[in-house]
Structure 1
């Protein structure tokens, strides 16, 4: 026996109804992803994506794992090849003659997004923090004074450059120094204001430090200091870039700090990079 087939009448305006339903669905899902901060939405075949963030958290508690000055110079040279005028020392590309005593430096590099392979990632988050001792500057409470130099950059990886395809449109790049120990104090910092055009100038604010300065390009967006920055015991300082740019961008900053002469460097150093939501 043959089974009878039922037919269904389709309204003439079914196409517009489907489109309206789809638009309503996208609006609803878009609000949901913004609220929960997920990296993608299932069931949309990858057409709808929320923001992606990569963070590098580094706890520095001694000089043991620090790079030597020779290793730092090699690092700087490599970043010039990758970033040009957006490297560690900005448009000058070389370290200024500032007369400070080199203590150590620490570097970090992470692939952006879900791909953990640096060779296959479409972009990389790079950074370095350099620590100098300010000669003969010891405060009355016995604290030795130091000067930090911060650099962070994002750019297309070699794989992305070879593929010549689109890289994400980045919207935020941050670098931050944070002291949890109250005996470690944050001092004056730069930049201490917002910039809407480049080049951005960065320089040590202490009269005891001269010529530690650099300028870096601002391709798009704004550079500013973290509004949560705090001078004093257990303080912190951060520099941020905000924009909408699918290309190379860097940030530089410097801050003075002090801690007891018998203590080693002890601070949290954080790098953060994010790309905006996209709808295709």
Structure 2
């Protein structure tokens, strides 16, 4: 972890939230970062129904890449189980991205709209929750913590990739079409999938969308983002390495403070 990132981490130690036996905060040690990477491996590569990929770190049973040393690792810890990391998020600021060669999303989408945007941006990535804890509570805890983070660092826009697991486009034609017609980002903040690497999300005419099937096709994380007013970029990235289809999600930070969100946070009060 870089020295500059350690300084920001010290500021973040004050943002520690606890609900019963669960605590959400920034990882403050190498061991906690490693635990987050191990969780990511179990979720993304461990046979839990998610994408499976082999990497140079496969033998170590961790998921790690060049971005990890420059980001903040947000973790949810179960204090009743020897401080087990049960959920995590990876946060990359514009300054961190400049140090590691860009945002992770840039490998899949043209993110020049974020480069040109004058406000503060934050990339959210590698979101995962232990299968034993996949309830609304863990996601709400992460969102509630992020609300404090964006206020402390004056973040205006958050973005990142959300995955549909599998690469058969037909399996997600209703959900992807719905995202295109109902949740497309405004033109000035609309990333586009890189040419030759993606698929058109407008797979069906709007009047032909089966909304019940779209609900079934939509990943839980994507549903959560939509509940807080998220919008999406144009086109979806076909990731054969990770066996998934990614969409670029954009969340305006002020949406985390809207009154209607209170009902989603009640479980964490």
TM-score, length-normalised on structure 1? 0.33
Say which structure is richer in helix.
2
Which fold has the larger relative contact order, with Cα–Cα distance below 8 Å and residues 6 or more apart in sequence?
A: 1
* Larger of the two Rg values belongs to structure: 1
